Structure 1
């Protein structure tokens, strides 16, 4: 489907653009990670907006200027400070948005997901001028379409996403590892890619847990002063048993008789 959009835009100004998407699938299968991968491959700015924790539309569309702590929303900052107007914005867990009539977090999306009205979008904290948000590439994620209002759903192209195969999980793990190396100050201390033995263990994990698994494994490798992860580093991560924390391990308490103060 994206190829159709790309081919059509190639006949115009060549801008990377697609109609708003909704990725629907089970939790933890890598929907947000897929959106991040796409943005990286297209060299586009990328932002994730957590709809499950949104209590109003202000984080996305700004807060009213009459509030003492009024500030612009994510979209204004993204368009004002990024060199590209066609960023990828993920509306994560859209189906878990708490819809309160007075402070509905979804309210701004009815304007933003329509290209014609998005051309003159006004941030609530800066009403003096409108911004053109029509080039934003929207990707929403959800576990189900239930709970998403029909008028909003009609603005989205729904794609049902199946759980990735083990080989696909291995590629996701490699991508996450590469991004960790690129973003962390310690990244250059480790080898550029994961070896096959490590990938063989990682590919059986849920995509959502890959980041934590890799970070813990990298920490264990660092403790051993190694520049690479070994399969044994991942064994600690997959151990589901309860473990004690810090100095509480093996701690015993002895009862002592109490004597009255003299």
Structure 2
């Protein structure tokens, strides 16, 4: 079996305006003496860095087959990505991807897929973990009248980043917390619609920003707790756990990613042995990375430059050490 290596494609880039400089300058000039200093600094930075960001897309059909080989249980969303890329490649049209919702059990590789897709398309990604949120302003920002207020993730990504079309990963969208006053998903009603996203207003900055080219990927374990209007704005894919052969391919992909990301990885061969692959195939994709990192260390402690099945330890979950006196 050959190794499926998924590399970042060479992308063509145009420049896209993500906000209006005159609107920002006007907002800055209208600030009073007692205005929020963080807001003043934000406006000044927006003027300094300018309003143009790269909008990238592959300059040819990317290696989607290689990514399907590496992540076989994500074939359905990747085939739809292939269709959308085919429509715009070798033209000046932008890449239009409908927001994606990936449904499946924890640890089957949904977040890994989102990162791989960003790399495939030649852009960057931003990660938002909805399970840890307790307020609605994480995406849309909080009013500058509040103490310690700041912009939301979408605004920060577009203003501080280099791309107008980053991949925004909204992880565990079904576990969004909050209270009746602050809905963590409230901003998505506008952000997931292209027309309204083009003039999205962050509550902190209060200046329209063009988020219409952001690529949205949400993950969830159960769609029943996601509001119907959010679901209606997304392409929904149910992701099954990989079979034995698929799990072995995913394990090899993760092994290769870890090995090539570190200088010490050069000591190790490109291919995992069959026995090690078999041992890893029984783990979830989430647990594979931890198991592989552990196995690399075990091999070096033993003076070896190859991972064996005995270096693979099954994931038992984190355990708290009891505190005694």
Q: Smaller-chain TM-score range?
A: 0.7 to 0.9
Which protein has the larger Cα radius of gyration, Structure 1 or Structure 2? 1
In the superposition, relative to structure 1, how do residues 138 and 224 fare at CA in structure 2: closer, same or farther (>3 Å)? same
1:38 alignment partner, one of 87, 110, 117: 117
1:231 corresponds to 2:312: no
1:50 paired with 2:126, answer no
Cα separation, partners in 2 of 1:240 and 1:134, compared to 1, 3 Å: closer
Q: Describe how 1:92-103 pairs up with structure 2 within 5 A.
A: 92-103=171-182
- 2:98 is aligned to 19
Distance 1:22 1:241 in 2: 27
Distance in 2 (CA, whole Å) between partners of 1:133 and 1:101 is 26
1:61 aligned residue: 140
Provide Cα deviations, 1:214-234, integer angstroms capped at 9, x if missing partner: 121122123224333222111
Deviations 1:109-160 (A, max 9, x none): 1111011111111222212x22111111111111121011111111111111
Q: Secondary structure at the match of 1:89?
A: strand
Q: Aligned pairs, how many?
A: 243
Give yes or no for contact 2:287–2:315 (8 Å, CA) kept in 1.
no
| Range 152-161 or range 80-89, more displaced | 80-89
Q: 2:271, 2:114 → 1: CA distance?
A: 21
1:142 to 220, 228, 248: 220
SS in structure 2 of the partner of residue 238 of structure 1: coil
CA 1:240–1:54: 2 relative to 1, 3 Å: closer
Paired residue for 1:121? 200
Give the TM-score normalised by structure 2: 0.67
Residue 132 (str. 1) matches residue 227 (str. 2): no
The answer as to 2:186 corresponding to 1:110 is: no
8 Å contact kept, 1:9–1:15: yes
TM-aligned CA deviation for residue 20 of structure 1: 0.4
Which secondary structure state, in structure 1, belongs to the residue aligned with residue 209 of structure 2?
Answer: coil
Q: TM-score, normalised by structure 1?
A: 0.82
Indicate whether 1:175 and 2:219 are aligned.
no
Superposition RMSD in Å: 2.7
User: Corresponding residue for 1:260?
Assistant: none
1:177 deviates by: 2.6
Q: Which residue of 2 aligns with 1:251?
A: none
